[in-house]
């Protein structure tokens, strides 16, 4: 899971930027309040004031900021801060997974699999840096004016949460020779086989009462030309996931144009449905 300043979805990566954004927003608000209390124009720049007045304003703002931090004042929702976690969750993400499986010959062949996945959301923190002008590119999402304006203009798209994914997986299985121990039955021989699976997915949130419904559509193609027991096939998966508290209920429909194995001669295509339950264990209390 490769991470950088522009790649990855761990909140830890963007925590400092979040703190700067919150602090900057608080300071801007308190500055406007202070100017109003001193009967000065709220849009007046500090560097245009008399030195004594500027010092007085800065001192009052500093004291108010300290008090707000001590009281743990709530974040200002008008600044769009409540959308920050959604933008983090839509950041581009890259995964590389390699797995080696060792099996007893009677169970199956040893396998090596490598999978690469890249995911990204349409509205993310990186978009804030490319928004408006060069000043936003330098300060990015820590600039309250850039961040707030971006969130205000793209609030609907952020809530819809359009996300895309691409993955490619290669699996290579070693051939095996098994001695059955029977004189009239020769050894069982399985050839080396490889599989290539390419997938492309798209998802978004749909309105569903108090909790949105996650909609996901994925298409994949399995190339198993090297495996004499299987056949190439295309698969389409459609999934609706409804969240209820700490539990998610996914309902999926899967269509495959062929069966997985060559001896699946009862059908040319298969349509199946699945339903499940997912629990967020971290959201439960210690005594549950």
Question: Would you tell me how many other CB atoms lie within 10 Å of the CB of residue 227?
Answer: 20
Q: What is the enclosing helix (H) or strand (E) of 7?
A: none
More confident residue, 77 or 247: 247
- Tokens representing 170 are 């290669």
Question: Would you tell me how many other CB atoms lie within 10 Å of the CB of residue 90?
Answer: 23
More confident residue, 241 or 70: 241
Query: How confident is the model over 199-246, as pLDDT tens digits?
Result: 999 999 998 667 789 999 999 999 987 777 778 889 999 999 998 878
The Cα–Cα gap between 116 and 94 comes to 8
- pLDDT grade, residue 182 (50/70/90)? low
Query: How confident is the model over 25-65, as pLDDT tens digits?
Result: 667 777 777 888 878 777 666 667 777 777 787 778 777 76
The Cα–Cα gap between 236 and 233 comes to 10
* pLDDT score at 287: 44
* pLDDT score at 61: 75
* pLDDT score at 168: 97
* pLDDT score at 100: 95
* pLDDT score at 3: 85
DSSP 201-231: EEEEEE--TTSPEEEEEEEEEEE-TT-TTB-
The Cα–Cα gap between 277 and 9 comes to 24
The Cα–Cα gap between 152 and 148 comes to 6
The Cα–Cα gap between 119 and 217 comes to 14
The Cα–Cα gap between 257 and 222 comes to 11
CA 53 to chain centre: 48
Which range of 20-24, 59-63, 194-198, 280-284 scores highest in mean pLDDT? It is 194-198
Residue with tokens 């895309």: 164
Rounded to the nearest integer, the mean pLDDT of the chain is: 80
Query: How confident is the model over 113-149, as pLDDT tens digits?
Result: 999 999 999 999 888 888 776 667 776 667 777 888 8
- Please check whether residue 213 is in contact with residue 205, taking contact to mean a CB–CB distance below 8 angstroms: yes
More confident residue, 65 or 279: 279
Mean local confidence (pLDDT), 177-190: 66
* pLDDT score at 22: 73
């Amino acid at each position: 899971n490769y991470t950088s300043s522009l790649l990855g979805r761990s909140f830890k990566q963007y925590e400092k930027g979040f703190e700067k954004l919150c602090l900057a927003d608080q300071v801007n608000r308190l500055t406007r309040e202070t100017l109003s209390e001193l009967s000065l124009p709220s849009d007046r720049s500090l560097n245009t004031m008399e030195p004594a007045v500027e010092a007085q304003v800065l001192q009052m703002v500093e004291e108010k900021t300290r008090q707000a931090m001590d009281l743990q004042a709530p974040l200002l929702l008008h600044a769009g801060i409540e959308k920050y976690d959604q933008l983090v969750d839509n950041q581009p993400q890259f995964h590389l997974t390699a797995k080696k499986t060792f099996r007893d010959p009677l169970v199956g062949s040893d396998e090596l699999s490598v999978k690469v996945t890249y995911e990204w959301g349409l509205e993310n923190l990186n978009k804030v840096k490319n928004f408006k002008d060069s000043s936003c590119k330098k300060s990015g999402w820590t600039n309250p004016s850039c961040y707030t304006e971006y969130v205000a203009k793209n609030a609907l798209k952020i809530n819809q949460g359009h996300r895309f994914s691409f993955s490619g997986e290669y699996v290579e299985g070693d051939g095996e020779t098994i001695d059955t121990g029977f004189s009239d039955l020769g050894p069982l021989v399985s050839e080396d086989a490889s599989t290539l699976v390419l997938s492309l997915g798209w998802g978004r949130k749909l309105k569903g009462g108090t909790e949105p419904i996650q909609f996901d559509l994925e298409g994949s193609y399995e190339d198993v030309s090297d495996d004499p027991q299987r056949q190439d096939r295309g698969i389409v998966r459609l999934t609706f996931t409804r969240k209820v508290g700490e539990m998610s209920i996914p309902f999926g429909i899967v269509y495959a144009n062929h069966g997985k194995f060559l001896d699946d001669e009862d059908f040319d295509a298969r349509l199946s449905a699945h339903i499940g339950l997912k629990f967020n264990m971290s959201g439960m209390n210690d005594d549950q």
